[in-house]
Amino acid sequence: MDDAQLAAKLAEDTAAMTNEDRAALVEAIFDAFRDRGESSEDVAEAASISLELVVAGDRQALQGLLTYAQASPGLLKRVMAHA
């Protein structure tokens, strides 16, 4: 599964996720970016999303984060490997 397919699958799955599951996914994505030296604030700004909304579990903000994450080769695969 390539990065775009994984992002699409995760976006589809978020509809059925609990708030807790969405929060865990967001944190895992931010952790992967932090491992690359990017802060959560920098990622949110680059993704043109509200950090507060994505942390609160807003699905549209999470979609923006997933779209941004898919542009970083291997990042989502890394997230899922640690899930």
Cα(35)–Cα(80) distance, integer angstroms:
15
The pLDDT score that the predictor gives to residue 25 is 94
pLDDT band at 54 (very low <50, low <70, confident <90, very high): very high
Q: Is the pLDDT of residue 83 over 80?
A: no
Residue that has been written with the tokens 């984060």 in this structure? 65
What lies within 8 Å, CB to CB, of 18 at 6+ separation is none
The pLDDT score that the predictor gives to residue 15 is 86
Q: What rounded mean pLDDT belongs to the chain?
A: 92
Cα(39)–Cα(36) distance, integer angstroms:
9
Whole-prediction pTM: 0.91
pLDDT (mean) for 30-59: 95
